Structure 1
Amino acid sequence: MGDWDARAVRARLRQMAAEDPEATRHGAHHHRYELAPPLPEAEIGAFEEEHGCRLPPEYRSFVGRVGDGPAGPAYGLMPLVTPHSGADADGAAEGEWEDDRRPGRLGAPCPMREPRPFDEGQRFDPDEGLTLGTFVLADHGCGTYSRLVLNGLLTGQVWYLDQDFGSCTPASPDFRTWYTGWLEGRT
């Protein structure tokens, strides 16, 4: 269940690039349908050890067998270990990426329990810690991100968060469903 067919994913990305030579699909001009090399197992294990977390199997397998971003939904898949230059135009995703890797954040329990609808009148209180126990997978722009839940009741799920307004909604039951949905053009 956790293993990926790296050749099939890369073949699909080549097909997507051929179908979108001008990179007009949302975010394609940032990731260009290209993947960085996969990470060595030792590097993935060191990341988990350093941050006190265990990566969900589908994601762990992806970065270890297929690639460590950036080809992916929205402005592209954020890397596990080293930020890609130019992942988004304003650097917001890099700031989220760095914030996620502060000591204790990834190993903390995720406080999300249920969806919270968007409410323009309600601003997010950063002290609430909505992003604890998660890390940013993709930047959608305007302070919205897809995040992978690492700890808590929703472990392994991908959620869509608007951190400015504190809304959160489930995006996918797991990383594989989320990423293959994008590969197949469903998202």
Structure 2
Amino acid sequence: MNTEHVDPDDLAAIRAAFDIDDGGESALGWEAVQAFEAEHGIVLPEPYRTFVAEVTDGSHSGPPDYGLVGLAELPDDWGDGRGDRDLSRPFPLTSNWLWDEDPRPSEEIEPILDQMFNHGTIVLGTDGCGMYWHLVVTGAHRGHVWFITGEGATPFGSGFGFTTAEPGFAGWVKHWAANKPWFDAA
């Protein structure tokens, strides 16, 4: 997974998966992407960066179930009580975490939950019922996609043992386009 340079084959596969043929009209353009990055003190990982600049900024078709939200947007079911988002602060997790099974007291868990939902990620979209797909933009897992729900957080990619998919945004989209279940590892 290369988060610094876009692989032309990955970008072609992503473009084909979303089946967007509007000549880039639904894309943000490089100036808008760079302004977003400057405002938030980040650089988006590739190939997502090129995707929103040149292909589209969100789509009703495609992953997740309710579509891909725009770069500066949150899903309709996000809610108001999640706290302030800071994309420049690192995403706190590096491995699967089920906080419902964590024996620590809630006073220790709550700050991590707040960071997990609000730091270092853009929200790609929702599968409904509080199940969100995040792309990590800051931290040790930069470029990885995470599935975060009300019960836990799971990294996406074959190296984590829950799926056969390649890691990152390209792997996530290609897995969806192949019509495979998200968590298909035996």
* Same structural fold, with TM-score higher than 0.5 when normalized by the shorter chain: yes
Seen in structure 2, the aligned counterparts of structure 1 residues 6 and 107 have a Cα distance that, compared at 3 Å, is: same
Equivalent of 1:57 in 46, 50, 67: 46
Equivalent of 2:171 in 177, 180, 187: 177
Partners in 2 of 1:47 and 1:137 — Cα distance?
Answer: 15
State whether residues 36 and 69 of structure 1, in contact with CA within 8 Å, keep that contact through their aligned partners in structure 2. Answer: no
Name structure 1 gaps, 5 residues minimum: 15-34
Name structure 2 gaps, 5 residues minimum: 158-166, 182-186
Partners in 2 of 1:9 and 1:151 — Cα distance?
Answer: 28
Seen in structure 2, the aligned counterparts of structure 1 residues 111 and 8 have a Cα distance that, compared at 3 Å, is: closer
Equivalent of 1:75 in 66, 86, 89: 66
**How high is the sequence identity, in percent, across the aligned residues?**
32
State the 1:147 CA deviation: 0.5
- Give the aligned CA root-mean-square deviation in angstroms: 3.2
Equivalent of 1:109 in 90, 96, 117: 90
Residue 28 (structure 2) pairs with residue 43 (structure 1): no
Partners in 2 of 1:161 and 1:81 — Cα distance?
Answer: 19
Seen in structure 2, the aligned counterparts of structure 1 residues 146 and 36 have a Cα distance that, compared at 3 Å, is: farther
Partners in 2 of 1:56 and 1:8 — Cα distance?
Answer: 17
Residues paired across the two proteins, number: 154
User: What amino acid is the match of 1:52?
Assistant: G
Partners in 2 of 1:6 and 1:169 — Cα distance?
Answer: 24
Partners in 2 of 1:121 and 1:36 — Cα distance?
Answer: 46
State whether residues 28 and 57 of structure 2, in contact with CA within 8 Å, keep that contact through their aligned partners in structure 1. Answer: yes
Scaled by the length of structure 1, the TM-score of the pair is 0.69
Q: Which residue of 2 aligns with 1:13?
A: 19
User: What amino acid is the match of 1:174?
Assistant: G
